[in-house]
Structure 1
Amino acid sequence: MLRIGLYLAANFAILAVLSVAFRLFGIDSLLAANGVDLNLTALLVFAAVLGFAGSLISLFMSKSMAKAAMRVHVIATPRSATERWLVETVHAQADRAGIGRPEVGIFDHPSPNAFATGWNSDDALIAVSTGLLHHMNRGEVEAVLAHEVSHAANGDMVTLALIQGVVNTFVIFLSRIAGLLFDRLILRIERGYGPGFWFVSLIMEMILGVLAMMIVMWFSRWREFRADAGGATLAGRHKMIAALERLKRAQNAPPLPEEMRAFAISAGRVQALFASHPPLEKRIAALKQVGRT
């Protein structure tokens, strides 16, 4: 809850600073002089509410959505020695990480993969694919589980959703400013919203949305290095390196669905700026470098 409070406070602080800056630099006066009858404070609040709504709703629904999308079998009562080992391993790691014991599940997918999701660290879901259990030995699976438990302990699902809310806010705010400027200064529409407002706002949302995605994906890549380090602490550095090397050899396996890739341990081969995960080579090198220091 502290992390949520801090990020919300930071976002509203940024909105307040922007509002003051618009006034100090006379931007709102310039807009008013050109017929832009816009209440910037109201627009900032509107953008924040709209920007955070989707990301927070998705966050609170993330676990149920993941279960449905991936058809996760949650292990309530272990039916085999493997299921019992998975649950005991995740719970032991969660105890060491100081978080509530997550639900543990298995989903049917040929790719060796896993993901963590949930709206807070004490109510998480850790799920592994059948492909992961088939392709990896227990030491490597243990490292993957530790990586996902570290995601939960770091509050990465919450933080990613809140960062998405922040960038959504600015995309909405700036795109509507651009639309109104086009209406008032170019089309000379004095009141209301003309077609130029909607057209320019939509185009700017698309352009700014791409830039916003780059920011969110940069954070996603950074958190993978941190989760690798956490996994190395919980399971052992050599096991974490071995697991990543195994994933590297299986990169041509079918990827997870798009909506689940940001929460997985590996996202396959993707373009650098829009990748949710860093290249496995860099992740392995980072862990090996820690061993030399």
Structure 2
Amino acid sequence: MKWNFARCITLFLLTNLAVVATLGSIAWLLDVEGFLARKGVHGPVLYLLLIVSAVNGFVGALFTLMLSKTLAKWLSGAKVIETPRTETEQWLKETVRRLASDAGIGTPDVAVFDSPDMNAFATGARRNSALVAVSSGLLQDMPRDEVEAVLAHEVAHVANGDMVTQTLLVGVLNTTVNFIANVVHFVTRGGSNRSDDSEERSTGASSFVTQLLLHVVLGLAPSLLVAWFSRQREFRADEGGAQLVSPQAMARALDRLRTQEGKPSLLPSTLQSFGIHGGRGLLALFASHPPLEVRIQRLVDAANSPSLSLN
């Protein structure tokens, strides 16, 4: 499936409707509307909350996706190579063009950002109009066959539609958290028909604190899910990169990254989940990238065993 703009919007709308329908069905089965009525909240409040939660949950994520290339260049300071000025820039553009052609996608913009960190990232709302950026440290400290493997990894991210799927996942989770927090907010307020202004202000303040705490607590589980998805995405991109170059080259590139293991990624935090490495988090469950040794072992096993496939 090619992730062109029309399909992105269609998938966004269908996902939004599916989330609203699912949450609405669960609320109906649990008689949330009756519960709210007993708490003094009447009318179609539940369904309004569903719509508001879906809009809040998805619009921010979609807006970020649409501006992802612009934001990534601004945050990282990456400069797009328009006309190559050096042999290295020419090689970069030609290599990305060839890998993108092999992966069946349009040629991404190619950029370089100034950082001693060996890293790279890919982003963009459309599969055929993405951005692949590499650090100056990567170009300086890696041989070209390994740089090519890193580029293949990033092209695989684009070909897999990872930016779109992560945006949809974040939108779904945001919608769910917002909906639950908004329902609790209305329940703790007991409706909006209070006549005592001082009581209204007191209740409003406490419900705001409750809602804020709910967002924090309820956000823990979605954070774990997003991190898990990000780790699976890295495995798939490693496999895609290995198919475009070779498992051996992909494994060597990852092994080279182990020389800076333990050091935090110098990419801005909003881009770290899209980089070739993200450093190790304090808790493995919240890490956006699997351990490098695990990624390398999977590639080695696939290269050495004819019974294993990278597909």
Asked if TM exceeds 0.5, the reply is: yes
Q: CA deviation at 1:252?
A: 4.1
- Corresponding residue for 1:125? 131
Distance in structure 1 (CA, Å) of the matches to 2:33 and 2:120: 49
Letter of the aligned partner of 1:120 in structure 2? Answer: R
Aligned to 2:224: 214
1:21 aligns with 2:42: no
Distance 1:82 1:48 in 2: 46
Question: Relative to structure 1, is the Cα distance of residues 225 and 59 closer, same or farther in structure 2, using a 3 angstrom cutoff?
Answer: same
SS of 1:158's equivalent in the other structure is helix
User: 1-side partners of 2:39 and 2:188: how far apart?
Assistant: 11
CA distance in 1, matches of 2:22, 2:62: 23
Moved more, 36-45 or 142-151: 36-45
- The aligned counterpart of 1:281 is 293
- Written as runs of structure 1 = structure 2, the 5 A alignment for 1:106-255 is 106-184=112-190, 191=194, 194-253=204-263, 255=265
Contact 1:176 1:197 in 2 (8 A): no
Aligned to 2:95: 89
Q: TM-score, normalised by structure 1?
A: 0.93
Deviations, residues 62-83 of structure 1 (Å, cap 9, x unaligned): 1111111111121111111111
| 1:143 Cα offset (Å) | 0.3
The answer to whether the 8 A contact 2:19-2:172 is kept is no
274, 288, 303: which is aligned to 1:263?
274
CA contact (8 A) 1:94 1:102 kept: yes
Contact kept? 1:179, 1:199, Cα under 8 Å? no
Structure 1 vs Structure 2 CA RMSD: 1.8
Tell me, which stretches of 5 or more residues in structure 1 are unaligned? none
- After TM superposition, the structure 1 = structure 2 runs for residues 3-82 of structure 1, keeping only pairs within 5 Å, are 5-6=10-11, 8-37=13-42, 39-82=45-88
SS of the residue 1:104 aligns to: strand
CA distance in 2, matches of 1:99, 1:49: 31
Worse-matched range after superposition: 149-158 or 192-201: 192-201
Structure 1, 273-282 or 36-45: larger mean CA deviation: 36-45
Relative to the length of structure 2, the TM-score reads 0.88
2:197 alignment counterpart: none
Contact 1:110-1:254 at 8 Å conserved across structures? no
Give unmatched runs, 5+ long, in structure 2.
195-199
Question: How far apart, in 1, do the equivalents of 2:189 and 2:77 lie?
Answer: 48
Give the percent of matched residue pairs that are identical in Structure 1 and Structure 2. Answer: 46
Q: Work out the number of aligned pairs and report it.
A: 290
CA distance in 1, matches of 2:55, 2:286: 26
State the secondary structure of the residue aligned to 1:196. helix
Give 1:17 deviation, angstroms.
2.5
Q: 1:122 Cα deviation (Å)?
A: 0.8
Equivalents in 1 of 2:263, 2:222: separation in Å? 29
Distance, in Å, in 2 between the alignment partners of 1:39 and 1:250 is 53
Tell me, yes or no, if the aligned pair for 2:113 and 2:135 is still in contact at 8 Å. Answer: yes
Contact 1:117 1:125 in 2 (8 A): yes
| Higher mean C-alpha displacement, 93-102 vs 246-255 | 246-255
CA contact under 8 A between 2:56 and 2:175: conserved in structure 1? yes
- Residue by residue over 1:147-195, the C-alpha shift from the partner in whole angstroms, topping out at 9 and shown as x without a partner, is 00000111111111111111111111101112222233xxx98647732
